[in-house]
Structure 1
Amino acid sequence: MSDVLNSSKAPEPVGLYPHARRVGNLLFLSGVGPRVRGSKEIPGVTLNPQGEIVDYDIATQCRSVFDNVRNILEECGSSWEQLVDVTVFLTNMKADFPTYNSIYAEYFRSNQPARTTVEVLSLPTPIAIELKCIATID
């Protein structure tokens, strides 16, 4: 059994995919970024008129993406504490990893899912971080 699930609080997907899919007692989240639902706003990002990143604040983006993940989990019947695996994509590992890692430790103090962090050349929207998560669901 597989259920397609979407959140009314998280930013709309930028393609033909759901926020999450439930398979048995697992919830698989699609890639989640820091965008704001219902707008083109990306917290912590300054764009030029061509839509290219001029400046960004990785701390603001981290907090926004973690909040978006939490919203999806809760609306889909899971929770932050039920996360079991997190894959993090950063566009600038050297510059952003220390800040991201510090904020990650704040959010995951009590729950410590398995984690993989990789650097990618770019992401589909002008963001510096994206998360792909797996959680359990009752």
Structure 2
Amino acid sequence: MKRTVSTDEAPAAVGAYSQATTDGDLLFTAGQIPLTPDGDLLDDEPIDVQTERALDNLAAILEAEGAGLEDVLKVTVFLADIDDFEAMNGAYAEYFDDEPPARSAVQAGALPKGVGVEIEAVASLESADE
């Protein structure tokens, strides 16, 4: 049965979506942008800083369900400019080092609020139950 997930440690949903949904086995996050939980938009920061903020938001949502980045199975990274891939990847590698999840990275036509990166993930909650 589907259940929505929400935490004050990540930016609140600002539209007709949830921070994440789960069926108890898998967790699907909404795309996370470089927006702080307090509402500060980091759109003018370098892409590595934007990537770190988006991943911090993602980690907070996972933590709300007792999971962590090590439980992530698949990540999709949307970049406003694919030329930012190397800088994004450098920051991303700091979060996923030993056994990184599967990942796709694509250039999007435009991202919400004019940011440079948006990141979504699918995670297993199996180890969170143990």
TM-score for both structures, normalised by structure 2: 0.90
What's 1:49 paired with? Answer: none
Give the share of equivalent positions with the same residue, in percent: 35
Counterpart for residue 131 of structure 1? 119
1:59 equivalent among 29, 48, 55? 48
Structure 1: stretches of 5+ with no match in the other structure: 47-55
Provide the C-alpha distance between the structure 2 equivalents of 1:71 and 1:5, rounded to a whole number of angstroms. 11
Q: Which runs of 5+ in 2 are unaligned?
A: none
TM (norm. structure 1) is 0.86
Corresponding residue number in structure 2 for 1:87? 76
The residue number in structure 1 matching 2:109 is 121
RMSD over equivalenced CA pairs, Å: 1.2
Partner of 1:42: 41
Tell me, in whole angstroms, the C-alpha distance in 1 between the residues paired with 2:119 and 2:10.
13
Is the CA contact (8 Å cut-off) linking 1:7 and 1:76 kept in structure 2? no
Report the Cα offset of residue 80 of structure 1.
0.9
CA contact (8 A) 2:34 2:115 kept: yes
Distance 1:71 1:7 in 2: 7
Amino acid across the alignment from 1:126: G
Structure ranking higher in strand proportion: 1
How many angstroms apart in 2 are the aligned matches of 1:6 and 1:101?
27
What is the CA distance between 1:127 and its match in structure 2? 0.8
Post-superposition Cα deviations, 1:77-126, rounded to whole Å, max 9, x if no partner, equal 221110000000000002x1111111111211023101000001111212
Aligned to 2:91: 103
